[in-house]
Amino acid sequence: MTTLVAVLLTTGVLLGMGALVIDVGRIYGEREELLSGADAAAWAVANQCSVAAIACTAYAASAQSYAALNASDATVTVSRICGFNPKASAAANTAQACPAVNGGLTQCLGTRPTDLTLGWVEVWTSTKNPDGSTLLPPVFARALAGGTSNNGTAVGACSRVRWTPINLTNINVVTLAVAACAWNTSAPVGLQFRGSVAYTGCGTAAGGGGSMGGFSTFGLLSGLLTCTTTLNLPIYKTALSLLNGCGTVITNSVGATLTMPVYNDIDPVLGFRLVGFTQFKLANYCIAGVGNGVPAGSGLTCTALGGQTWIYGSFSRSIPGSYGVTNLKRDG
């Protein structure tokens, strides 16, 4: 009889320990998904908001999308997005200020940056089940406790990313602007001149200035004579349809790297909104049907009859100061 009682007690203890291990393991798994989602969301928001204050508008949707992609059931709550952006107004920063830390286990690690030249963002995530509930239900603990005392566990995570702002003052560039949607590729790309008959856009300007894509000249005609200028960004510059001196710069720059401004919007009156810059290694060109060869597999043509004007090459994103951010770092 004593042996039987001991066996039953041991079995009960083992079952209880097994149930505890399974339920605690689910909590750790859930937290890992939430933390991965918070990490991805924070990186996405930082990458977006570090470019310019005007680009920091749809960050909530970006954060939700990246967080959900890291959840096994594609459901997660982004409960808080807060931080500081040195490019934003005082009012905007006040609206997005983070509340005081409460010492909880789900807050970001470390201390928040106090240097006002640094931008940073915190993204907080928490459990959301497919049915909309916000507690992670136990597998065995409720049954062992009689089915009433454990409704689930609130699980959360936080990630903080900070960035060093890009230096966007006194930048020496060629007067050839490239659309952000055309820049957004790591593969070699052919950029059609906006005045070329073969030009097609890759997006639509939110400011009402028509299609965005390819590359174009900008600014005053005097700047086009040398195809170089110095910019403080962000700034609006009038779009032009002439190559002028830029044609000579292009033909003399094969194999070289051009520093080009990047625009993310077009205003019908003000022109391109230049928000950053990138470096483009030029491999091939075609100006009014005359060029140095057409890259195989590029789909480009270069004939005088067609009047095509394009440049072909690759964006060097790894070079410090390129469009986007120069220094992103996970901070908590």
SS3 217: strand
Q: What is the rounded CA–CA span in Å between residue 169 and residue 322?
A: 13
**In contact, 301 and 308? CB cutoff 8 Å:** yes
What pLDDT does residue 54 have? 63
Q: What is the rounded CA–CA span in Å between residue 317 and residue 36?
A: 25
**Is the Cα dihedral 128, 130, 133, 137 positive or negative?**
negative
What pLDDT does residue 294 have? 95
278 strand-pairing partners:
260
**In contact, 83 and 42? CB cutoff 8 Å:** no
Checking if the pLDDT of 255 tops 60, the result is yes
Q: Which of 197, 208, 207, 199 is nearest to 178 (CA)?
A: 199
What pLDDT does residue 326 have? 47
Rounded percentage of the chain residues whose pLDDT exceeds 90: 25
What pLDDT does residue 319 have? 40
Checking if the pLDDT of 292 tops 90, the result is yes
Average pLDDT estimate for 146-172: 75
What pLDDT does residue 321 have? 42
What pLDDT does residue 193 have? 93
SS3 248: helix
SS3 86: coil
| Tens digits of residue pLDDT in 177-231 | 999 888 878 789 999 998 788 888 998 998 888 899 999 998 766 566 788 888 8
How much is the CA Rg of the chain, to the nearest whole Å? 27
- Mean pLDDT, all residues of the chain: 80
- In whole angstroms, how far apart are CA 111 and each of 61, 115, 327, 331, 332? 26, 12, 19, 9, 8
What pLDDT does residue 160 have? 92
What pLDDT does residue 5 have? 46
What pLDDT does residue 283 have? 96
Average pLDDT estimate for 143-160: 73
Specify the amino acid at residue 151: N
SS3 59: helix
What pLDDT does residue 276 have? 80
Contacts of 265 (CB under 8 A, 6+ apart): 54, 205, 206, 207, 209, 212, 272, 273
Average pLDDT estimate for 35-47: 89
SS3 216: strand
What the block records as the tokens of 86 is: 């040195």
> Is the pTM for the entire model greater than 0.85?
no
Average pLDDT estimate for 19-28: 66
* Bigger pLDDT: 55 vs 254: 254
Lowest mean pLDDT among 164-173, 268-277, 299-308, 322-331: 322-331
Q: How confident is the model at residue 4 (pLDDT cuts 50, 70, 90)?
A: very low
Checking if the pLDDT of 115 tops 80, the result is yes
Q: At what angle do helices 59-69 and 2-49 cross, to 10 degrees?
A: 150
Q: Which of 295, 227, 216, 222 is nearest to 263 (CA)?
A: 216
What pLDDT does residue 140 have? 62
**In contact, 272 and 173? CB cutoff 8 Å:** no
Checking if the pLDDT of 284 tops 90, the result is yes
Burial, 239: exposed, middle or buried (Cβ in 10 Å; 0-12, 13-18, 19+)?
buried
What the block records as the tokens of 238 is: 């009038």
What the block records as the tokens of 125 is: 């995530």
Checking if the pLDDT of 245 tops 70, the result is yes
